[in-house]
């Protein structure tokens, strides 16, 4: 299961606004903090293959004492980081040769992120 923190939006700076009165408490997920050994193994597996699915993901999660979802999300986030680094390296090479860059290198990032978050269980 997901670990949740206490209510979000309850602070000591003053009373809650009228939009919060009587409403349900919104919960926020606690960010997973990976151990260095877990990160090292995840990175090793990512170098072998950028997509981890099925029994491979289940086995890796069990080995690292993580949930399958934590492994899945780590791989999704790592692929996004890898794409961003690849785009930055490509932009740096092009700029060396005087090729003009598009206005924003991040414009394609949102499309990649949406595609990457689709999860198909095999």
Looking at residue 103, its pLDDT comes to: 58
Q: What is the CATH number of the domain that holds 55?
A: 1.10.10.60
| Domain range enclosing 42 | 34-94
Q: State yes or no: pLDDT of 109 exceeds 70.
A: no
Number of domains in the chain: 1
Indicate whether 26 belongs to any domain: no
Predicted TM-score (pTM) of this structure: 0.59
Indicate whether 54 belongs to any domain: yes
Looking at residue 64, its pLDDT comes to: 98
Indicate whether 53 belongs to any domain: yes
d(CA 26, CA 16): 13
Do residues 92 and 51 touch, judged by C-beta distance below 8 A? no
Indicate whether 6 belongs to any domain: no
Indicate whether 82 belongs to any domain: yes
Nearest one of 78, 48, 45 to 63, comparing CA atoms: 45
Indicate whether 121 belongs to any domain: no
Indicate whether 40 belongs to any domain: yes
Q: How confident is the model at residue 120 (pLDDT cuts 50, 70, 90)?
A: very low
The string of pLDDT tens digits covering residues 21-58 is 555 677 887 889 999 999 999 999 999 999 998 999 99
Looking at residue 3, its pLDDT comes to: 52
The string of pLDDT tens digits covering residues 62-101 is 999 999 999 999 999 999 999 999 999 999 888 888 766 5
Indicate whether 28 belongs to any domain: no
């Amino acid at each position: 299961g997901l670990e949740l923190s206490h209510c979000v939006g309850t602070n000591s700076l003053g009373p809650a606004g009228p939009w919060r009165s009587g409403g349900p408490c919104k919960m926020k997920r606690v960010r997973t903090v990976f151990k260095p050994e877990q990160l090292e193994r995840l990175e090793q597996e990512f170098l072998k293959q950028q997509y981890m699915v099925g029994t491979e993901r289940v086995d890796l999660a069990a080995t690292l004492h993580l949930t399958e979802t934590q492994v899945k999300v780590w791989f999704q986030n790592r692929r996004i980081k890898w794409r961003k680094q690849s785009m930055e390296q490509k932009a740096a090479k092009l700029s060396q040769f005087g090729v003009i860059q598009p206005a924003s290198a991040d414009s394609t990032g949102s499309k990649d992120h949406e595609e990457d978050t689709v999860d198909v269980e095999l």
